[in-house]
Structure 1
């Protein structure tokens, strides 16, 4: 937003996790701003209230949904401890987990058999090649319903630039810039015309990055990999670390082994586990792919 008016004061206040700030202090601070843009947040992130309380006390607050898009990363899931407000199970790349990896662990597959599941025949059986339309509709509809902004043209433009998400929940910076322009216009402001690519910084690239698996990437005409990036917010000191698929799965298995089984719940994986035909099919493909040497070392 700073690019749209260099004279404006634009500040960021995080409501991720649990803040020490109280809603009364939050409101007092934000009252000094002309415009407030926020995602919905539930009680517990800010002591003393949630986003509805913020809106009730500051009418200039504009709530908009987060960008979410699963077509590039259909295997990515979050494992949520429902007893905690922000209680996501963290593994080797933060809260990002593989549905296939969790399924394999829950079914008692070896790491090698689990590795064998990361192939085109398995992705096809799980519907991973048919996610785009639903993901696009969900994104467009959520933003339209949530804040009456139509992103259909923007989505088309983003897709023409290649993969525009680092994960299902972290978009690249040019996506956020276009959304910011839409928000700016929505409150009656006129954004400055500027080439964002000349100034853009992808802060979210410092966080965890979930790969676009090669068979899925091939369908979209882009380069894919099984290389998982760990978060690194200290670029001045190190360049960060990456995990190959075997390294990632091994670390996930260790995380799951150290976690109470009741806290390894994910609705999608649970549905797979209760589908006997699907389970048998996946187990068969795991063994067949392993025998055929269809495992990945990189």
Structure 2
């Protein structure tokens, strides 16, 4: 993105997943970056890379400018990760039809012994309201703005602009290209670099489209006044068209995957909370035989 906006600059992109293999530890990374004119990074945790987190790296590289990770679950409030999430390892997560992302309703329906048809009846606006899905907008906004302020990169203006464009996320954790472009452009402007004034999506492909795409359920779309995206899309495999699922196909395939996984591995923070909530358990129980 920065290379597009700054065509005369030399730009290096380093993925967190590859840092250990390339630099060994954080000291090695700091040595590599110390002669750079500008260093931009979002926050990463100690478990991601030995030697410390981004704040430790910033102490070694005072010119490092942090920017926020954009997480916004309002359009996809049913999406969760399942397994050993605290390990920050993809291999420790349970994989379903869309890889590591799952429907909380589908998983809880399976664990509560509902049939596929009974579970499908729970994808309803009234149920979403009872589950707190409609609170995800206010909660997501507050969390994102707070996280942005904590790294000195307030997003109040940008978030208002993104919201006016409708759904600006591919899923809860993956923003669309124009969001990333706004952040990159602002980093360049505030560093005094004079980026090109252009719409990045007119010149670059959105590479995150190649990842799994989560739908915007019709009831969620209607609640927020955005376009519904009813199909689940698995990550594209090179040389083949991506696999698409309607809701019934996704829930059916999810149930089949869960049946092959030990129940003790089908854990998630939200599932634990729902299991402890008599009202939510009664809501799912009411779907049995409905």
CA displacement, residues 119-168 of structure 1 (integer Å, 9 cap, x when unaligned):
2221121122232122112112211122x222222112112222110000
Matched residue SS, 2:84: coil
Find the aligned partners of 1:264 and 1:185 in 2 and give their Cα distance: 45
Match of 1:275 in 2: 277
Deviation at 1:215, TM superposition (A): 0.7
Summarize deviations over 1:43-76 as a string: whole Å, max 9, x none: 3433454434432333322232210001101111
- CA separation in 1, counterparts of 2:112 and 2:234? 26
1:214 corresponds to which of 215, 218, 235: 218
1:41 and 1:50 in contact (8 A); partners too: yes
CA positional deviation for 1:221: 2.4
Say which structure is richer in helix: 2
SS of the counterpart of 2:284? helix
Once the two structures are TM-superposed, the CA of residue 233 in structure 1 deviates from its matched residue by 5.9
Equivalent position of 1:204 in the other structure: 208
Question: What is aligned with 1:293?
Answer: none
Deviation at 1:205, TM superposition (A): 0.7
Match of 2:175 in 1: 171
Shift of 1:172: 0.3
Q: Determine helix, strand or coil for the equivalent of 2:171.
A: coil
User: Which residue among 195, 210, 228 is the counterpart of 1:191?
Assistant: 195
Counterpart selection for 1:84 from 83, 87, 99:
87
Paired residue for 2:244, among 236, 242, 245? 242
Deviation at 1:231, TM superposition (A): 1.0
Question: Structure 2 length as normaliser, TM-score?
Answer: 0.89
Residue 71 (structure 2) pairs with residue 62 (structure 1):
no
RMSD: 2.2
Please tell me whether the aligned partners of residues 5 and 191 of structure 1 are also in contact (alpha carbons under 8 angstroms).
yes
Query: Which of 98, 103, 118 pairs up with 1:98?
Result: 103
Consecutive unaligned residues of structure 2, counting only runs of 5 or more, are none
Question: What stretches of structure 1 move > 6 A for 4+ residues in a row?
Answer: none
Bigger mean CA deviation after superposition, 93-102 or 56-65:
56-65
Structure 1, unaligned runs of 5 or more: 289-298
SS at match of 1:16: helix
What displacement does 1:249 show? 1.6
Aligned counterpart in structure 1 of residue 254 of structure 2, from 252, 255, 261: 252
For 2:133 and 2:288, the matched residues in 1 are separated by: 17
Matches within 5 A, 1:1-298: 1-16=2-17, 19-21=20-22, 22-23=24-25, 24-82=27-85, 84-86=87-89, 87-146=92-151, 148-232=152-236, 234=238, 237-285=239-287, 287-288=289-290
How many residues matched? 285
The TM-score, its normalising length taken from structure 1, stands at 0.87
Of the structure 1 ranges 8-17 and 263-272, higher mean CA displacement relative to structure 2 is found in: 8-17
